[in-house]
Structures are given as structure tokens and as C-alpha cells.
Amino acid sequence: MAKRPLIEVRSIDYVPQRERHGKVWHLWPVWFMGDAHLATIATGFVGVGLGGNLIWMTIAVLLGIALGTFFMAFHSTQGPQLGLPQMIQSRPQFGYVGALLVWGVALITFLGYNAFNQVLAADTLTTLYGTNPKVSMLGIGILAAALAVVGYDWIHAAQRLLAGVLLVALVIMTISVGTVHFPADQLDVHQFKMIPFLVQLFAAAAYQLSWSIYVSDYSRYLPKNVGVVSAFCWTYVGAFIGGAWTMLVGTVAGAMFPTEHLTPALRHAADSMLPGSGEPLLIVTLLGLVTITTLNFYGASLTLLSVADSFKPIKSSVSKRVITLLIGLLVATAIAFSASKDFAQEFGEFLAILLYLFTPWTAINLVDFYIVRKGHYSVREIFNPNGMYGRWNWRGLTAYGVGFVSMIPFFSTGLYRGPIAVALGGADLAMLVGLPVSTIVYLMACRGVDFEEEARRAAQADVGIDDEA
């Protein structure tokens, strides 16, 4: 890092080979810490809150994390291959202007999650130390945005440092669980309840899938030759362990104190297992919440720049990135300040809809990269308003629309519950429907296109790009 600028210079532009650096194993602490924080713990509360017992909710968490992380980790391999952030890679599938569809949803997701994170962090600090909630929200936001300003290398460094701290904390808490005597029904495999099980499984899967919208942002500086399998495995290992381990902390705390809210339940659970450990555990997971807020601000900045580039091509600069980060900070903090007491529940419903919106995108993006175009893209043409990918790509837009509509009967939120979800007692299976439908429709729409010829054109268009960059 000493040989590189303190503040990251690049944003949505291509990272040339001479600037590639880092080791592929660096991906695991980024995504371990991406999950090791309070928001993940809160997701582990879902099933036990609906009446599920500890043993079956543990199984649901593990299966859900395994499923969602599978798709998320495949996006990570795109970064080293293309040297571009995640969202800008949507142009070949949706078009130069058509990609605005997914970028708008991504932007709302980034800022909404951060507003939730700031509220959650403020609630924790207020519970522990009686701090002013709005001061805490602003302070957490500024700290997270400042780390996002210095950028990629320091984000990686912070995640590696905190990963070691969280590992120690989680090991201690896991050993301490052995001292807890749970009621017999919490460990009874015969107490299976379908609805809590399915809700927890797909909540965990959707939570992991939500990282897909920016996962390659943190692999795009890696050398191109790191290998697809290595990038996938290190991302999967980090996200699976961080997600499952941390989410199960919430599941255990919920099983121990089912009538309490997140922060007090977590504190009491930790203190009952290891006296005096509640406060340190909350502080450590709060640090994780700060860095995931950083990742969201960083992603929001890149998305805002991508949106701006769609209307008028821009040249990347530190000043533009800082301006977009300030915009993100102001918007997220304003939402957090205006949050009602029921904000977490209300916004949780809203985020469920946003996750529905990203299910077709992840299917289309991955199928296009691995099956249709097989990784052959032109970076120059991605930034060409009148280039080979067109301004609107009907194939991706059609597959997206059909995939989303196919999920509607399976939606299950407080805002809307589809007829099939009602018949299933409220279980949300939308993701299992949206992924295959979007994939099939996109593959059918791409039949007859000569992608071998397109690959040759893409290679010709990018001749000398590393020297130019």
C-alpha cells in the first residue's frame, strides 16, 4: 500500500494489469467480515421468532447460507477477469441505458441498508452507553464513509484486521454455548415446523444473495490469472463461515430469550454464557457493522457514477468519487434520522421486495458470463454509448421482466402475499422460481446470436487497452 496512492484513484473505470495486486486469499476476510456483524445476527432471529426451535432453525440457516452464497461467490470471479466493478458489468445484458433499471434498485438497496445499519448501531450504543441516537447515527456514517474514501486497499486491510478479532470472539462464544442448558423442545427433532423453517432458510439465502450486487468490486484489482476456482472458493469460504457462524449467534440468542429484542437478547445471552462478555461482543460486532456500511457506501458511490456515465460519459477522479460518497452519506443519514420506531420491520419488508428485484438480475448476469458469452467482453464497448451492446438489450430486459412476474404469486411480505405463498402458509419460495425462469428465458432469447463473432469483435476492440489505461 505504501507504493500506491493513499486515496484510491480509480472508480468505475478499468483496472489495467500493471495495477493489479493482492492475493486471492484476501477475499475470505472481506466476506467473512461482510457477514460478521449485528445485521446478520438479526437475520438469525427470524425463524425462532416465528416459533421454530433451535435445532431446525440451525439446519435452515446452514442450508440457506449455502444456497445464497453459491450464487454470490460466482460473481466474485468476474472481478479479476474484467477489472470492472459489479454493476457496470450489467451493460452487455441490459444495454448501455437499460442497465439503469438494476442500478436504480442497487442504489436504493445500498442506501437503505446503510440507514438500517446506522439505526441499529445507534440503538446498540444507546443501550450500552446512553448516547444520543442521532449523534451516533451521524458518527457511524462519517466513520464508514471516511474508510470508503481511502478506498479498496484500506477496506481490505481493515477487513483482514477485524476478521482476526471476530474469529476470537466467535470461538469463545461457541465454546461457551456448551454451558447452556436449552429446554428440551429446542433440541427436539420431532418439533419440526414447516413455515418457520422455510422462512428462515430463504431469509438466510436472500441475505447472502444480496451481496451479489457488489461482490466483484472487491476482487477487480486481483491479477487476472488468480483463477476462477480460487476466487470462487475463497469468497465462498469467507461468506459461508461468516454468515452461518454469525447468524447462528442470533438463532441461539433468540432461542434463549425469545421475548426480547435483538440488542438486549444478544447481551443477555452472552452474559449468561460467559459473565461480562455481552458488552465486548456487541462492540466487536458493531465494528463489523461499520465496515459493512463502508462497503455499502463504496458500492453506492460506484453505482451513482455508473448512472451519471449513462447520461454523459465521465472521466473517473477522486473528487467525483468523494462527491458521490458525500451524497450517499447525506441520503442514508437523512433516512435514518426520519426512521420511526418500527423502521427495522418496515424497511425489512421493503428490502424483501428489493431482493426479489435482484433475483432475476443475478441469474441473467451469471448465465451471460459463464454460459452465453463465456467471459468474452469488450471493456471499451461497455463504455461506448453507441457500441456493440446497444443502448437497450431486449433479451436481458425481457428475461428480467418474465422472471420477476413469475415470482409474484410466491411473494410473502407484510406488504403483499401471493396466492401460492398463502396456500403454503406464508412460506416464501420466490427465489427458487425466479432464478430458473430468468435463466431459461434469457437462454432462449439468446438463441441464434453469433457470440463467437461477437467475441472476436470484443477482442479487437480491446487491443492495447492496458497500455492506454
In a domain, 247, yes or no: yes
In a domain, 413, yes or no: no
Q: How many CB atoms lie within 10 A of CB 199?
A: 24
Residue 117 lies in a domain: yes
**Beta bridge mates, 412:** 417
DSSP string covering 169-223: HHHHHHHHHTT----GGGG-TT---HHHHHHHHHHHHHHHHGGGGTGGGGTTTS-
pLDDT of residue 3: 65
- Give just the sign of the alpha carbon dihedral 61, 67, 73, 78: negative
Q: How are the residues of the chain apportioned to helix, strand and coil, as percentages rounded to the nearest 5? A: 75, 0, 25
Q: 250: part of which helix (H) or strand (E)?
A: helix 228-256
Q: Residue 202: left if φ>0, alpha if ψ -120 to 50, beta else—which one?
A: alpha
Euclidean distance between CA atoms 197 and 247, whole angstroms: 14
DSSP 8-state class, residue 95:
-
At residue 26, the pLDDT reads 96
CA neighbor of 159 nearest in space, from 259, 31, 10: 31
Q: How far apart are CA 74 and CA 64, in angstroms?
A: 16
Question: Which helix H or strand E contains 407, and what residues bound it?
Answer: helix 394-407
Helix (H) or strand (E) holding 323: helix 318-337
Give the torsion sign (CA, 418, 419, 422, 424). Answer: negative
Domain residues for 24? 17-355
CA distance 309 to 303: 10
Does a structural domain hold residue 90? Answer: yes
Q: What is the pLDDT of residue 424?
A: 81
Query: CB-based burial of residue 337 (10 Å sphere; 0-12 exposed, 13-18 middle, 19+ buried)?
Result: middle
Q: What is the domain-level CATH number for residue 109?
A: 1.10.4160.10
Tens digits of residue pLDDT in 40-73: 888 888 888 888 999 999 999 999 999 999 999 9
* 219, 80 contact by CB (below 8 A): yes
Q: Is residue 399 part of a domain?
A: no
Measured in degrees and rounded to the nearest 5, phi and psi for residue 412 equal -145, 90
- CA nearest neighbour of 281 among 44, 37, 28: 37
Of 360, 358, 396, the residue nearest 112 (C-alpha): 358
**What is the mean pLDDT, run by run of 10 residues, along the chain of 469 residues?**
76 95 96 89 84 94 95 95 94 96 89 89 89 94 96 95 91 84 87 88 87 93 93 97 93 83 80 86 88 95 95 91 97 89 62 81 96 95 95 97 96 87 84 95 95 95 87
Q: What is the DSSP letter of 319?
A: H
pTM of this structure: 0.91
Quick check: is 66 in a domain? yes
Examine residue 455 and state whether it is found in any structural domain, yes or no: no
Total count of domains within the chain? 1
Cα distance from N-terminal residue to C-terminal residue, the chain: 20
Residue 120 lies in a domain: yes
Q: What is the largest CA-CA distance in the chain?
A: 67
Q: What distance in Å separates the CA atoms of residue 246 and residue 251, rounded to the nearest whole number? A: 9
Residue from 78, 67, 66, 15 nearest 366 by CA: 78
Radius of gyration of the chain (CA): 22
Predicted pLDDT of residue 1: 45
Q: Rounded distance, CA 424 to CA 407, Å? A: 14
Grid cell 457470440 is found at: 451
Cβ atoms of 292 and 140 closer than 8 Å: no
